[in-house]
Structure 1
Amino acid sequence: MAILTSSQQTFVDITDQRKLSAYITSNLPKSQIEDPNVLPHTYAPDWASTPLVLTPVVFLDQTNLALDASGLTISWKRKEGNGAEAALTSGESVSKGVLTVKANKLAAATSGMLTYLCYISYYDSETKNTVNISADITYTLIRNAQNARLAYLSADTYVFKYDTNSALVGAKQATLTAQVQGVTITAWQYKDSSGAWKDYPTTSDNASISGGTLVVKPEHAVFFNGLAQIKLATDDPDVYDTTSITKIYDGSQGEPGAAGTGGLSVILGNEAQNIACTSGGLVATATEVTIPFMGYLGIKQTACTCKVGTLPSGVTVKSNTAATASKAGSVVLSFAANATLGGATVLNGTIDLTFTISGASVVKKFAWTKSNKGSNGASGANAIVFSVYAPEGTVVINQSGSLALAAVGYDGASEITTGATYQWAKYTGGKWTDISGETSSTLSVSGADIVNIQSYRCTMTYKGNTYEDVITVEDKSDPYVSEMLSIGGFTVKNNLGGVVPYVIVRTNQKEVDPLLGTISETAPSNPKSGDYWYQVDHSGQTVTLMKYSGSAWAAATEKQSLTYTWYAQDKDGHATEFDKTGKVIYLSAADIDSILTLQCDVSN
């Protein structure tokens, strides 16, 4: 049987006047991605470079109204999150009923949601009535996870050695190298004699003190009592790293260690570490911290071992390699993901390291500090956003021409252009059927394929996961048109009761296959033989066509002249089992999970 017409309804209120309906088309997806890891933050799509254009599509009954039609008035407002409606702001302008947004307005929306509301008023010169409706469209901001903020420095030497004549032997300079993530280096600093941090003095060896390297020489005025304490500072005061460079001098030749005091030195290559943590004080990702060390007797490098003291919860020793007379040793500590390090509110601490050189011991303290900023995104995974939209609108006239549908996905702030596969499907016969060969991100829909309404779905597979979105297109000038109405309205409350949907069909503005009788719970009074009645049974959740024999009502054997086949989509646009048939059906509240979209195909 050929389908003559289809109608679809998602439960809304209706009026007794001429039916005014509208929806809003958008030239861009309804989600925007913010990347917080660059300054200024970037947005995709960028409404500032590609303005958002919202166009209302208005119908009076089944006739498309031009936006400049006589009697039609259109105005716009905006609403952030659950806040109150407000007037449009700078960067939001209306021309001939079309709203254009030329700025990234979601950036200032604290809730991450922005709704544009279109108020439509139409004065019907035929009925002398004014009909008012509204439509809205909501945009959501998805913020990428902020990268963990880290700063780490290393040096090619941590010691300047002097012989008994106070002559420098060995390394003539130390080159410090910085590694940062999520922050910017602001300055290399040193600690002065008062204990205050100051910018490293300008020298011929350092063209900049905010670059990725720093050269430290013994003659630089940063040493106090033979020790230079160096700090790598960033634009986040909580993210930094420090190290020390030590001048050591030999004791009398031939008597190493005879004086005892001052002859023994242990140099740490890493004295402190920032640990990236969540806002709840938990370690964001598993982290390994390396602490190089060397032992000296006078200026002679000597074998040295390390014993690690009590560790905070969640920290273990991955490796402990002793130093030799020619090679540095190292302790590698493992900070486990989600470790509390002694408690969510504990922000820093120290770990005792006991070094043994030639039977003598030296205790050093390694310091750690939590950096709670940037805890979001500990998993490192970007948000994946996927949507389907119609750049040129969702309406064809008299099954002519074609429509372009497009699917777009974002991996974080970047549009997905590779690594994804697509499959388009068409909703027909109450189920989704894949469209052969349609595996690109776009689909051209022929107007001839659209009987009143038609739903399409695109499934994107990306990085092992699937993402779906559904869009419905319409034909507004078929010879046969149908409209779905409902006894009891299009809403139910508290999952109680039910409503009675039915379909009326017209051609050339005349109804065909009309209802055979009235629809009600009680039989008509004073019936005549041959009268019909659609009996509504709320307890049985049924509608039965009854016929009066002249003395009693009985189930009728007659049927409508057209065939009515019903289908349903759930709130996510997925086809759901639905076995109702007939011109009039009963829809129970139990059938509706938040939202149910009914479609009725009418055939002869």
Structure 2
Amino acid sequence: MTTLVDLNDSRQLQLYIKSNQPRVQIFDPNASTYTPNWPTNKPVLTPELYIAGTSTDIIAQAKSIKWFVDGVELTASNTDYTLAASGVKTLTVNTNVLASANSKLFTVEVVYTDTRTGADIVAKNDIEFVKVSSGQKGTAAITGVLSNETHTVPTLFDGSGGVFTNAASTLTIYEGSTDVTGSWTIVQTRTNVTVTEATSSRTATVTALSADTGSVTFTATRSGYSTITKTFNLTKSKQGTAGSNGTSPTAYWLVVDASALERNVALAYTPASIAVSAKSQVGTGTPGNYSARFIIEEQDAGGTWSTKYTSAANEISKTHTPTSNSIKAVRVKMYLAGGTTTLLDEQLIPVVDDGAEPVRAIVWTPEGNVVRNGSGSLKIKCDVYQGSTVKTAAYAWFVQEPSQSTDVGGGIGWKKLDATYNLGVTGYTTTEITVPASAIPSVESFKCVATFSGATYSDVATVSDVTDPISSAIVGGTTFKNGEGSVSVTCKLFQNGEEIDSAGSEYTYTWSLYNENNVKIANWNTTGSKVGKTITVAAGDVTGRAHLGCDVSK
């Protein structure tokens, strides 16, 4: 007598932990606040237990439920945690327990007694909460910038007849990248110069220079801040020959289209480049363009200056784009035509930024990440944080699709959800999407790409249908008599306690035969396998004892 053995899968449990709060908590060290603040928005962890192939949550039938925090069993409620005393033992977090840790691992252990066998089955699962700090913002950098730091005044041979065109400078004070000059008190100290504006003005327009050199010193004060001091220096350049009428003096100066470069959180500059041009004026004539030579330098993060451009020929203007996103300043030098020996004017363009708090996107499932038996829906939300503040962004949603070979905004392998392709998902241009169970074939991942302040941020959430696991059973004859005849066997599939694919048209059934030593019989049916929901096994296929297995695929 030969016996065929059913290799049907044993009963399996699926254990999940549902949380009503995202698994990431944002800490703002500047205000010492947490988002979400758990004492107000308490995370409640709820275990859910299913028998594979069913949609009924049987956690209430569990023999025991134990919770562990970082591997240590929590046996009773305390200040930080409330442990439900009976029934479905939920775990509630009462305080910001991540204040003293960067993460917390919560593990649930469930013992369930199998009603068919009477055996105890142990299932475990865990969920980790992580703290993300926005970083110490500190005091924004205070920078004082003069629109013109040095100026040369051309005069006749005796120092008279000076040309004071563009002999002016304006002080701008930045707090980070914001002009806050109006919040400061400014006092000008003048040496050998006559200035149009009052001594309290941020601008000094020089109309006379009583000596060969002169200066205007700006002193800016503000309560609680260090004093800022910047000096505008002027020098006479005497021309002509003593004892004669001499020649008309010529003034040269630089014109720069930006007094500072602003760097945003994406490390991009505004403006993206700076334009400089050379000007000149002979005597009291009309100012015009001048063909000069330029040297443009950049200061790196360590304070070292390096030359990035030198004019190969005389030129009126030059546009320069910073070569790095980490420079501290740009310096432009203007030289007399023909070479880089005689310096005519120089201008410093600092880089200002405020060290804005980091931006991140967090995708989470506010109603849990599980649907049951292919019904219902889930919500998936994307929160964009700058520091600990939720910001409004532009949202694009994607579903994982291995066949997506081009990047359409979410990366290779991610297909964009839109009006043409959406799987029934709604809200795919907003902060929150609603995903129907029909869009979740067992397990599915969704990505949100959020655009904020010119930069993109992304995160992924994975959701599942707990009833998609399908149980199988092989039914039919299992014995032969006297080594003759045949038996007919059928592989039946069950989901949620009901048979599916009874016609055998939705799945592919591939059968294999193993000898008594569990070695596959390679030449069975010539190819080593048979295909079909129901097959026939002949007595001649079996010697002594054999095992029959069926692989089901779709």
TM-score by length of 1: 0.46
TM-score by length of 2: 0.49
